[in-house]
Amino acid sequence: MKILVSEVGPRDGLQSITSIMPLEAKKRWVEAEAAAGVTEIEVGSFVPAKLLPQLADTAELVRFARTIPGLTVAVLVPNLKGAEAAVEAGAHKITIPLSASETHSLKNVRRTHAQMLDEVKSIVTLLNGLPIDRRPKFEGGLSTAFGCTLEGVVPRDRVVALAEALMSAGCDEVGLSDTTGYANPAQVRDLVRQVRAAVGDHALTGLHLHNTRGLGLANVLAGLEVGITTFDSSLGGLGGCPFAPGASGNIVTEDLVFMLEAMGLHTGIDLQKLIEVRRIVRDALPSEDLYGFTPDAGLPLGFVQESKL
């Protein structure tokens, strides 16, 4: 079975650190990871440069990444203005985050659920006015779907209702994000099943998981068991130590790909080449820590990627 590993390091990783990676290094990173076989990369976020100077060059990076054959170039947008910029730059996929915790939504983007859903509808209107070959895929990403550091438990029914609202508003699909690293495998199975029952299997194929409490790959396994085929991850776990303040704690692309390939699932990614991409990130960000067990431990003796046979 083919699994899509969606690299989010250039967006989620870089936005979580204070160092700014030069555009040329970002280009080398995206190019090398695509050459290793990664077919979808979230290269940035269209937010005001004064809020996230790390991602101020997103438009230029999108234009560059579009020149790489076979690569789906994804970006995050917080609102209609961001979506306009994403369309202008030519992104293939745009994701708008909607926090299942309204407290978190208000704090993060100063908008209620209703206001965010209005924003989603405006974006859909924008997209529907585009010629079909310029229309990016549009995902609603439900953040804090597994719990919130401000509200605590997020009721499952609320997540299901918001997923339905996003689809009704015109999203092409929804995703579930464990923004806080609260998810456990039983909850992943349950929430995915419930949301799929409400919006249809085709409308939920992706999970964005963190490793804040060490359960990231166990949660991936739970997701696989209920039909999830797309997983976000960050090369070198960039964005940092999951327990450092402000750190994202994304699951590590290298460990994720190792697990999937070892299980006989096909990612299309060459593990050895993927691990070599770390050097580009390390050279460009010498003061940032990189994470991941597999790169340090090395591949098992005699390990052969089935997909390369």
Cα 25 to chain center, whole Å?
20
**Residue 293 binding its own copies, by CB under 8 A:** yes
Tell me phi and psi for residue 187, to 5 degrees: -70, -40
**Residue 37 binding its own copies, by CB under 8 A:** no
Q: Please give the full DSSP string across 70-101, using - where no structure is assigned.
A: T-EEEEE-SSHHHHHHHHHHT-SEEEEEEESS
Per the DSSP assignment, residues forming a β-bridge with 233 are 7
**Residue 201 binding its own copies, by CB under 8 A:** no
Nearer to its own copies, 43 or 217 (CB): 217
Nearer to its own copies, 49 or 186 (CB): 186
**Residue 187 binding its own copies, by CB under 8 A:** yes
Least CB distance from residue 57 to its own copies, whole Å? 32
| DSSP H helices in 71-212 | 80-89, 102-109, 113-128, 156-168, 185-199
CB 292 within 8 A of CB 250: no
For the chain, strand residue ranges (E) read: 4-7, 40-45, 72-76, 93-99, 137-143, 173-177, 204-208, 230-233
**Interface residue with its own copies, options 81, 92, 193, 213 (CB under 8 A):** 213
Binding residues for its own copies, how many (CB under 8 A)?
42
Least CB distance from residue 128 to its own copies, whole Å? 39
Nearer to its own copies, 55 or 220 (CB): 220
Burial, 87: exposed, middle or buried (Cβ in 10 Å; 0-12, 13-18, 19+)? Answer: buried
**Residue 184 binding its own copies, by CB under 8 A:** yes
CA pair distance 158, 90, nearest whole angstrom: 33
Q: Using CB under 8 A, which of the segments 82-90, 128-136, 214-222, 270-278 binds its own copies?
A: 214-222
CA distance from start to end of the chain? 15
Q: Using CB under 8 A, which of the segments 3-11, 21-29, 120-128, 143-151 binds its own copies?
A: 143-151
Q: Using CB under 8 A, which of the segments 43-51, 158-166, 215-223, 272-280 binds its own copies?
A: 215-223
State both tokens at 291: 């994470």
Residues 75-104 that bind its own copies (CB under 8 A): none
State both tokens at 190: 């349950």
Q: Is 171 a catalytic residue?
A: no
**Residue 107 binding its own copies, by CB under 8 A:** no
Residues 237-266 that bind its own copies (CB under 8 A): 242-243, 252, 255, 258-259, 262-264
Least CB distance from residue 105 to its own copies, whole Å? 17
Q: Using CB under 8 A, which of the segments 18-26, 120-128, 160-168, 183-191 binds its own copies?
A: 183-191
State both tokens at 97: 């985050």
Cβ-proximal residues to 96 (8 Å cutoff; 6+ apart), any chain: 76, 77, 78, 79, 83, 116, 119, 120, 123, 138, 139, 140, 141
**Residue 236 binding its own copies, by CB under 8 A:** no
Nearer to its own copies, 172 or 254 (CB): 254
Element (H, E) at 15: helix 14-15
Least CB distance from residue 163 to its own copies, whole Å? 22
CA pair distance 139, 123, nearest whole angstrom: 11
- Indicate which residues carry an active-site annotation: 241
**Which residues are at the interface with its own copies (CB under 8 A)?**
147-153, 180-182, 184-187, 211-215, 217-218, 220-222, 242-243, 252, 255, 258-259, 262-264, 292-294, 296-298, 300-302
